[in-house]
Amino acid sequence: MAEIHLRECSSVTSSPRRKPPPNSARISVPFEYTASDDGTDENLLVLLHGLGDTHVPFAKLGRSLNLPQTATLALRAPEQIPFLYEQAYQWYTSFDPLGDLIDRPNPTPALDLLRIVISHLVDDCNWPPLRIHLFGFAQGGSVAVESVVSWWKGELARTRKLQVTENREHDEEDDDRRGNITRQLGSVVTVGGPLLSYPTVEKPCPTPLLIFHRGSLCKSAFASFSKAFAKVQEVERRDSGRDARMPCSKDEWEPIMRFWSEVLGRRTGEDLYEVMSGAT
């Protein structure tokens, strides 16, 4: 006679419905965090502004998107642009002493900041990496994609160190308990921001990537994206306006919203159980 066993679904119970907000003592730049309107913080959308801006407009953007079961976190870039009296910030040093844009900037300070932020979100705020999604505009888009690649490289290195010997048998549950699962981030959207360095990854990052641009990205930029990411979608919108600007209409936002509908997690209820059958 078959026996019926019930087991709590780990996908539902692994993280709390409401997450604690980020701690300003652990994040060295100003930020705005907004919990999900519907009371369920299943996803977190991290928003990164462009060169010369602040996090404030992007915090408003995150709230206006009103994505289901999605909290938002808008970060301000760490460096104020020199010689400007207005509130204008950069993610990394972007200008030389003559005021010209640097051709090959070094994004390391921004990547270090994002690494600390993501680690805080995962370790202290109970966010599973798969539920953390990044969105960046222009320079912020470059920081977003570079940060996702950097996270993936770190995960590959971490799991490689923790890997057990090949001749030892273990199942997926053992892997999860030992921390041997390579954790990917949920998704990343870049609006006009390319990778700043040629990617050197032993295995393409599985985090889904959406590239929104207005024809300003060169072919080599897409070659770099394809080398770094296993799943790449491209959305091009050409018009007579400026190349570097955010999506500004329902038609332009539609493919981004559709992308999020495919990658955002969905919590369907509490106290769900998986039915396990066994014979006696």
pLDDT of residue 3: 52
Residue 113, amino acid: L
Q: What is the CATH number of the domain that holds 167?
A: 3.40.50.1820
Q: Which of 29-33, 86-90, 244-248, 261-265 has the lowest mean pLDDT?
A: 244-248
Q: Return the CA Rg of the chain.
A: 20
- pLDDT exceeds 90 at position 156: yes
Q: What is the mean pLDDT of residues 71-82?
A: 96
- pLDDT exceeds 50 at position 9: no
Number of domains in the chain: 1
Q: What is the mean pLDDT of residues 112-134?
A: 97
- pLDDT exceeds 70 at position 277: no
- pLDDT exceeds 50 at position 102: yes
Enter the pTM of the model: 0.86
| HSE toward the beta carbon, residue 107, CA cutoff 13 A | 25
Domain that holds residue 96: 2-279
Q: What is the mean pLDDT of residues 12-26?
A: 86
Write the DSSP string, 96-142. -TTSPBPSS---HHHHHHHHHHHHHHHHTS---GGGEEEEEETHHHH
- What's the whole-number average pLDDT of the chain? 87
Closest to 199 (Cα-Cα) out of 156, 146, 160 = 146
pLDDT of residue 270: 57
- pLDDT exceeds 50 at position 29: yes
